Amino acid sequence: MGKEIKRILYGGDYNPNQWPKEVWKEDMRIFKDARINSATINVFSWAKIQPSEETYDFSELDEIIEMLNKEDYDIVLATSTGALPAWMARKYPEVERVDYEGRRHKFGQRHNACPNSEVFRKYSVALAAKLAERYASNPHVKCWHVSNEYGGTCYCENCEKAFRIWLRKKYGTLDAVNKAWNTEFWGHTFYDWEEIVAPNSLSEGLWDERSAFAGLSIDYKRFNSDSMLQNYMDERDAIRKYDKEAVITTNLMGTYKELDYFKWAKEMDIVSWDNYPAYNTPWSLTAMRHDLMRGLKNAPFMLMEQTPSQQNWQPYNSLKRPGQMRAQSWQTVAHGADTIQFFQLRRSRGACEKFHGAVISHAGTEDTRVFREVQELGKELEALSGLIPGSRNESKAGIIFDWDNYWGLEYTSGPSIDLRYEDQIHSYYEYFYDKNIPVDMIPVDADFSRYQIIVAPVLYMVKEDMKESLEKFVREGGILVTTYMSGIVDQSDNVYLGGYPGPLREMAGLWVEEIDALAPEQKNGVTMDGTHYSCNLVCERMHLEGAESLGVYEEDFYAGEPAAARNRFGKGRVYYIGTQLEKAGKAHILKMALEEAGVESLIPEETGLEVICRQQGEKKLYFVMNFKDEEQKLPAVFAGRKDLLKGTDLTEETVLKKYDVCLIEK
C-alpha cells in the first residue's frame, strides 16, 4: 500500500487553529527536538470548516497540512464530526439528543448529535467526503480519524422510530418481540409497533438506570451501538471513495460500556483507543484494557490518546510521577500498541480542558520536566521504530469479554447491586497479570481452538451457539473456568429453566439451587485442601452431578456444601467457582486449572516485575517493567542480555527501581 505506516507514530492531537501563526513555527522547532513525527489534526473543527449550511472554508486547514507536509509528519486527519456547529443545532433542533431523563438538549458540549438524525447523517457524511476529496491524494495523510470518542445514548423520537425498524429486522413479528421481552409480566403486551417507546426514566426505567424489562433495554443498547456504528460506517465509506489506501479508525475507550467494540472492530481497519487511568487505577486494569483493545481484532493497535502529565476531568488529577509516563507508554507498546500519541501537543488556553496535560505547557517552553520525558521517550521510540511494528503478542489463554453480558449482568435486578462486570473480569485477569502469563481478551465467538484454557467469569448470558462452542472446546481437551452467575439467561434476558447454570449444566456436572447475596459487611469462608479462604458478594448452593468438590462453605445453613467444583467432560475439564473468593482463593483454583492446561508464565521465576513478550518469527522482545513501590531484582533468565533502551549489559545484580523499563531481545 502506498500509505503504509512504516514507523512508530509519535505525536498526538494538535490544534494550531487555536493559536496565532507565529506560534506554529515555534511548535515545529520544539516538536522536532522531541522526535515527534505525527499529528492528529482537525478533531473539532467542523464550525471552522463549515461556518454555514452552504459554505465550506478549508484555507486554514490547507495551511496546517502544508506545514506538516514540510516537516515530513505522518498525518492522522480527523473528520471533525464529534461536535456539531451551532448553526445546525439552531436551524435543526432535532439533531440534538434527548437524554435518559427525557430532556432535549440545546447546543453545547460535544458528542451531542442524535445518531438517527437524518440531518446529522447528511452533513457529517458530506463533510467527510469533502475532506477526503481534498486530501486523499496527500501521501502524508496515513490515517483517517472518524469523529471522536463515540458514546452516550439518545432517546428521542427519531431514535424510537429507528428502534422500531431495527426490531422488525431482528424479530420479524410483534409476537416474537413480546415473547423475547416476556411482556406478559405486568401486562405489557404490545399490539402495535408504535406502542414501543425508548426505555428511559419516563418509561421502563427503575433505579440506577436499571430497567423493568431488561430484554427491552438490552436490545436498546444493541440498537444504540449499531446506530453509532452506522454513523462511523457512513463516514468511513465516504472517505473510502476517495482514499483507497489510508487506514480508517475511530478512537475507542477501553471497557466503555455503551458500545459493543467487538462488533465495531469488524468495521475498523485498525483499533485505536484513549488510555486515561486515574491516579489509583491498578496497573493490571490498564494492562487488561490494552489486551482487550488488542483482542478486538487480534492485532496490534494504536494508542490515539494519553496525557503526558495529568488529566483534567477526573476527581483527583494527580501529576504523573517522574518516569511514570515513559513506563506507561512502554507498557502500552508491550501489550500491542504500534503508536504512542498524546492529547495534547500544546496546552489549551481556555475552556474545560485548559488544565489537561500537554507536551508544551502554558509556560510555552521546552525547559520543563514533562518535555524532557517526552523527548527521552521520543529518542527511544525513534531508535527502535524498525524493531517493534509487525511483532505480535501470543497467548495460549483467553478470557471472555462480552458486551451483551456486560449489559445483561448490570441491568438485572438482583441478586446484588455490587455485581459489576468489569470488576469481575479484572479480578480473574489480575492472576494472569501477577504471574506474567500472557492472555488474550476474546469474544464469545472467538476461535477457541487457539487456546488451551478459557476463563469465562459471570457468563450470565449464554447466547445462541455458545453452549456448542464451549462444549466442543472442552470435549477436545480444553480447560474452561467459569463462575457464579453463569448460564442464567438467554440473549433476551429470559431465565433458562431447569436449574442454573442452564446450558452449561451438563458440562459443569452440577446444578445450582439458590444464590445467596451477601451485603458488604457480610462474608463467609471456603475450605480447600485444608486451607481457609474468605468469600463474599454471592454464595451459590450447588448440587453435584458428577463433578468433584474442590472446597466447601464454612458458615451459614449451607455450611459443608460445595463452593467450587471440577468436572471431567470429554478430554477436558470444567472448573466452576460458586462464590467470590478472596484473591488467594482464586489463585488456588486457577493454579490447578493452568497446570492442567499446560499453560505457564513467560519466565520460570516469581517476580514483582511485569514481563510481556512480543514476537516476530523466532525473534522475541521482552518488556520488563517495575510498577511496584519497591526495587525489584531482574529475573536471572535475562542476565547476560543487553537492555536495548539504555544499551547497558544486564547482570544478576541488576535492580529496577520504580518505573524502570528494560527491553530485551532473545
* 201-236 pLDDT per residue, tens: 999 988 888 888 999 999 999 999 999 999 999 999
372: Cα within 13 Å, side-chain hemisphere: 5
Q: Which residues contact 27 (CB under 8 A, 6 or more apart)?
A: 14, 16, 19, 345, 346, 360
Which residue do the cell numbers 474545560 mark? 352
* Dihedral (CA of 224, 228, 229, 234) sign: positive
Between residues 111 and 289, the one the model is more confident about = 289
- pLDDT exceeds cutoff 90 at 131: yes
The rounded radius of gyration (Å) of the Cα atoms in the chain is: 26
Average pLDDT estimate for 143-162? 97
Mean pLDDT, range 395-418, rounded to an integer: 96
Q: For the whole model, what pTM was predicted?
A: 0.97
In a domain, 350, yes or no: yes
Identify whether 249 is part of a domain.
Answer: yes
User: How many independent structural domains does the chain possess?
Assistant: 3
Domain boundary among 597, 631, 657: 597
Residues 450 and 556 in one domain: yes
Q: Is 539 annotated as a binding residue?
A: no
Determine which one of 96, 204, 235, 305 is catalytic: 305
Instruction: Provide the CATH number for the domain around residue 494.
Output: 3.40.50.880
pLDDT score of 4 more than 90: no
Neighbours of 617 (CB within 10 A): 7
Domain boundary, last residue among 363, 384, 405: 384
DSSP classification of residue 235: H
Amino acid at 491: Q
In a domain, 188, yes or no: no
Range(s) of the domain holding residue 75: 9-85+111-152+227-384
pLDDT at 517: 98
Does a structural domain hold residue 535?
Answer: yes
Residues 6+ apart with CB under 8 A from 514: 540, 541
Gap between the Cα atoms of 381 and 618, Å rounded: 22
pLDDT tens digits, 66-88: 999 999 999 999 999 999 999 99
Q: Strand 479-483 vs strand 572-577: parallel, antiparallel, or unpaired?
A: parallel
CA dihedral 27, 31, 32, 33 (to 10 degrees): 110
pLDDT at 2: 63
Q: Check whether the bond before 311 is cis (ω within 30° of 0).
A: no
Q: Indicate whether 431 and 508 sit together in one domain.
A: yes
- Of 384, 410, 435, the position where a domain reaches its end is 384
Residue ranges of alpha helices (H) inside 136-260 are: 157-171, 174-181, 214-240
Higher-pLDDT residue of 353, 586:
586
Q: Do residue 570 and residue 640 come from a single domain? A: no
User: Which CATH number characterizes residue 640's domain?
Assistant: 2.60.40.1180
Give residue-wise pLDDT tens across range 497-510. Answer: 999 999 999 999 99
Q: In sequence order, which ranges of 306-413 are alpha helices (DSSP H)?
A: 324-334, 369-384, 403-411
Letter for the amino acid at 621?
L
What is the spatial distance between Cα 169 and Cα 163, in angstroms, rounded to a whole number? Answer: 10
Give me the mean pLDDT over the 527-551 stretch: 98
CATH number at residue 258: 3.20.20.80
148 carries a ligand binding annotation: yes
Residue 378 lies in a domain: yes
Cβ pair 84, 112 in contact under 8 A: yes
* Cβ-based neighbours of 415, under 8 Å, separated by 6 or more: 515, 516, 517, 538
Nearest to 73 by CA among 143, 128, 17: 143
d(CA 239, CA 133): 8
pLDDT tens by residue, 234-248: 999 999 999 999 999
pLDDT at residue 350, as a whole number: 83
Any catalytic annotation for residue 376?
no
534 and 584 housed in the same domain = yes
The count of residues in the chain is: 666
User: Where do we find the cell 492442567?
Assistant: 596
Instruction: Over range 91-120, report the average pLDDT.
Output: 95
Same domain, 402 and 375: no
Q: What is the arithmetic mean of pLDDT over 316-322?
A: 95
Residues 79, 121 within the same domain: yes
* Residue 56 and residue 8 in contact, taking contact as beta carbons nearer than 8 Å: no
Annotation says 149 is catalytic: yes
Q: What is the mean pLDDT of residues 424-442?
A: 98
4 in any annotated domain: no
Q: Is the pLDDT of residue 421 over 90?
A: yes
Distance CA 648, CA 666 (A): 15
- Mean pLDDT over 273-285 rounds to 97
Q: What are the E-state strand segments in 268-370?
A: 272-274, 301-305, 337-342
Share of the chain above pLDDT 90, in %: 94
Q: Is residue 126 part of a domain?
A: yes
Do residues 528 and 628 both lie within one domain?
no
Confirm whether residue 37 is marked as ligand binding: no
Residue 110 counted as an annotated binding residue? yes
User: Which is nearest to 422 in space by CA: 254, 549, 250?
Assistant: 254
Question: Does pLDDT of 1 surpass 80?
Answer: no
Mean pLDDT of 348-377: 93
Q: Is beta strand 524-528 parallel, antiparallel or unpaired with respect to 531-544? A: antiparallel
Alpha-carbon span 563 to 527, nearest angstrom: 9
Determine if residue 222 is left, alpha or beta; phi over 0 gives left, psi from -120 to 50 gives alpha, anything else beta.
alpha
Output helix, strand, coil percentages for the chain, rounded to the nearest 5.
35, 20, 45
511 is in an annotated binding site: no
One domain, residues 440 and 307: no
* Residues 577 and 428 placed together within one structural domain of the fold: yes
Residues 406 and 454 in one domain: yes
Residue 529 DSSP SS3: coil
Rounded distance, CA 247 to CA 583, Å? 42
Q: Do 627 and 593 share a domain, yes or no?
A: no
* CA gap 451, 563 in Å, rounded: 27
In a domain, 198, yes or no: no
* Predicted confidence (pLDDT) at residue 141 exceeds the cutoff of 50: yes
Spatial contact of 387 and 621, defined as CB atoms under 8 Å apart: yes
Q: Which of 96, 149, 471, 540 is catalytic?
A: 149
Total Cβ atoms within 10 A of residue 570: 15
Burial profile 164-199: b = 16 or more Cβ within 10 angstroms, e = fewer: bebbeeebeebeebbebbbbeeeeeeeeeeeebebb
Summary mean pLDDT of the chain: 96
The verdict on 581 and 473 lying in the same domain is yes
Q: What is the grid cell recorded at 527?
A: 475450605
pLDDT of residue 353: 87
Q: What is the pLDDT, as a whole number, of residue 110? A: 87
Q: Which three cell numbers stand for residue 540?
A: 451459590
